[in-house]
Amino acid sequence: MRYLLLTFLFAALSALLFTGFLLAFLFLPPLQERETVEVRVERGEPLSSVVRRLKDHGVISNERLFSFWARLRGLDKKIHWGLYRFELPLQPRQVLNQMMLGKGVFRRVTIPEGLTVKEIAEILEKKAELVSKDRFLAEAASPKLLSLAGLGGRGLEGYLFPNTYYFTPFVTERDILVAMVEQFWEIFNARMEEQSKAVGLSLHQVVTLASLIEKEAGIEAERPLISAVFHNRLKRKIPLQSDPTVIYGLKRFTGTLTRKDLDNRTPYNTYRIPGLPPGPICNPGLSSLKAALFPALVPYLYFVSKNDGSHLFSVSLGEHNRAVRMYQSGKRGRSGG
């Protein structure tokens, strides 16, 4: 009986000591100099490999106790992949919590409205240093990705939603494209889909029209007015005559549209083709999408730049020609959009 009691007391004391040691390990940071350490966790990497790297970088002092605590709490399967920056010294439980919550290092990148897929690729490569431009463009044209995004053979132009994104430094080109397309589908809600039917346009036509508005508009308040001009022209079967569409269809653009450019019969030359071009010419933002769906109730058929970002709108060709002479003297004025 006495032997059993001593055995029990020894086991209890051992458990108590181990618990105390474990708690001390978890709640007391290692004695070390202050430093910043970055540790990369790969997607699907096993806990043992992660813990070994943490130990090698001096983030934790004891691999076994850290692994034991993670498995005990069932957190070994909840560690997020990514790049982590640890401000040492840290308590081991803080290290685990940081990885469990996915508080890794992210790069902030802002994609402005009105950029093409190629221009987005350049920002992600040169400014954000996140992707290879060539791989990004190749992935953007991948039939598998287009099918996954629900776009079929239409391409991603127009569906990469402009926004501020946060990506890990080793995010893949596909991850970025999927994130941007998913953001588009979140923004283009059911009410907008219903409105597209009300104005007699398919979703793809709405995005295409929005991309023209995005390129033409310099002032927020003018977006519904520019949209009205295009809607009115579509209803009357008048060519849209939008310079940005012509530019988009050119293989090379020198910075100045010429008469030869306007005569170039590309699918995007809205001086030559009736109606909308076959697809978006850039990636429009929410304001332009709304403008495409909710044009102003005005009879305008023409607009001309006033050279300050704003436009003068006209109903008749005579009014428009006078506006062109006033604001575009010595320049080629547009008779349409």
Summarize pLDDT for 224-274 with one digit per residue, the tens: 999 999 999 999 999 999 999 999 999 888 888 888 889 888 999 999 999
Among 72, 105, 138, which residue terminates a domain? Answer: 105
- Same structural domain for residues 292 and 248? yes
- Same structural domain for residues 242 and 299? yes
- 334: amino acid identity, one letter: R
Residue 232 · residue 301 · CB < 8 Å: yes
- Same structural domain for residues 220 and 308? yes
Q: Answer whether residue 173 is part of any domain.
A: yes
- Same structural domain for residues 207 and 166? no
Residue 311 has φ and ψ, to the nearest 5°, of -135, 155
Beta-bridge partners for 110: 164
Domain count, the chain: 3
H helical segments located in the chain: 2-27, 47-56, 63-72, 92-100, 117-122, 133-140, 143-148, 173-187, 190-198, 203-216, 223-235, 243-249, 259-263, 286-293, 317-327
**Structural domain span for residue 260:** 190-327
Q: What are the pLDDT tens digits along the chain (337 aa)?
A: 555 554 555 444 444 444 544 444 445 555 557 788 888 888 788 989 999 999 999 899 888 888 888 888 787 778 887 788 888 888 888 888 888 877 777 788 999 999 999 999 999 999 888 899 999 999 999 998 888 778 877 899 999 999 999 888 778 999 999 999 999 999 999 999 999 999 999 999 999 999 999 999 999 999 999 999 999 999 999 999 999 999 999 988 888 888 888 988 899 999 999 999 999 999 999 999 999 999 999 999 999 999 888 999 999 999 999 999 998 765 544 445 5
The answer to whether the bond into 277 is cis (omega within 30° of 0) is no
What is the DSSP-derived secondary structure letter of residue 45? -
Q: Answer whether residue 224 is part of any domain.
A: yes
- SS3 label, residue 185: helix
CATH at residue 97: 3.30.1490.480
Specify the pTM: 0.74
Among 156, 187, 218, which residue terminates a domain? Answer: 187
Beta-bridge partners for 41: 82
pLDDT at 251: 87
